[in-house]
């Protein structure tokens, strides 16, 4: 198993010694409304847990360093509901550019951005590509749920504050779930789209009341299965990146 280190608990000399051969994991989430029943720190909390547990499960590289979680993301689409602290996509891109450049200057050659907020996805991908070009890093990123085999998940693996995320939080931190506020999203079933088609519809989040599907179907058991699937898939991705640039 990999040895797991927290950046904020290391000295500059210890980081410099680990950097050339270690994988740097950078978790990113958001601070945003999650319907009437989940706390605003849900995505940042999940990013931290996924990164830590996947690092503990990974068999390589020898060392994994976990950076402090970035708790803010691109969440302007949630601003109408309140409870949201958002960065614009341009601001987030500049922030990631500086952070990845800082990691490169410290000596890291391999880096993985663990993302748990869909609004960050495009920006994280662009930042990873630019870091590879500008600094010669092997830079990877993934929205964690995209790595998961749908067959391993009972119900949807995407959505916002729906059954998937609510189940995860019931399993991880049940005191943060306002169970008396659970109700189906009023926006109806997900709309069918052609594969690969991305559509942004004005007013759709308001129609959904800021959350998707039916969190009333959430359970601890579903959350435990979802957590195991996410951690296993992310650990495998860490191992894949560990083989590059070694």
Global pTM reads 0.96
Residue 200: the pLDDT is 86
CATH number of 3-160+227-242: 3.40.50.10310
Average pLDDT over residues 200-209: 92
pLDDT at residue 235, as a whole number: 98
Residue 73's SS3 state is strand
What are the boundaries of each domain within the chain?
A: 3-160+227-242
Calculate the alpha carbon distances from 33 to 42, 84, 145, 172 in Å: 9, 6, 19, 19
188, pLDDT greater than 70: no
pLDDT tens per residue, range 79-103: 999 999 999 999 999 999 999 999 9
In this prediction, residue 17 carries a pLDDT of 98
Residues 6+ apart with CB under 8 A from 54: 25, 114, 230, 231, 234, 235, 237, 238
Residues in the chain: 246
Helix%, strand%, coil% for the chain, nearest 5 = 50, 15, 35
């Amino acid at each position: 198993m990999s040895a797991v280190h927290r950046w904020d608990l290391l000295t500059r000399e210890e980081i410099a010694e680990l950097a050339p051969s270690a994988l740097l994991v950078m978790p990113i989430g958001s601070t945003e409304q999650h319907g009437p029943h989940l706390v605003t720190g849900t995505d940042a909390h999940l990013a931290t847990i996924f990164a830590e547990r996947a690092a503990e499960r990974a068999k390589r590289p020898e060392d994994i360093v976990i950076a402090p979680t970035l708790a803010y993301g691109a969440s302007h689409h949630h601003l109408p509901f309140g409870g949201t602290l958002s960065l614009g996509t341009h601001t987030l891109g500049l922030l990631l550019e500086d952070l990845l450049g800082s990691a490169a200057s410290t000596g890291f050659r391999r880096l993985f951005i663990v993302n748990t907020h869909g609004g960050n996805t495009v920006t994280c991908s662009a930042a990873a590509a630019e870091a590879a070009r500008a600094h010669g890093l092997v830079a990877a990123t993934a929205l964690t749920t995209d790595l998961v085999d749908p067959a391993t998940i009972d119900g949807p693996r995407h959505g916002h504050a729906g059954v998937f995320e609510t189940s995860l939080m019931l399993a991880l931190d049940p005191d943060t779930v306002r169970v008396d506020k659970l109700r189906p999203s009023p926006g109806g079933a997900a709309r069918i789209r052609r594969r690969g088609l991305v559509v942004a519809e004005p007013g759709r989040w308001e129609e959904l009341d800021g959350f998707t599907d039916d969190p009333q179907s959430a359970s601890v058991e579903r959350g435990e299965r979802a957590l195991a699937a996410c951690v296993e898939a992310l650990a495998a991705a860490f191992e894949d990146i560990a083989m590059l640039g070694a």
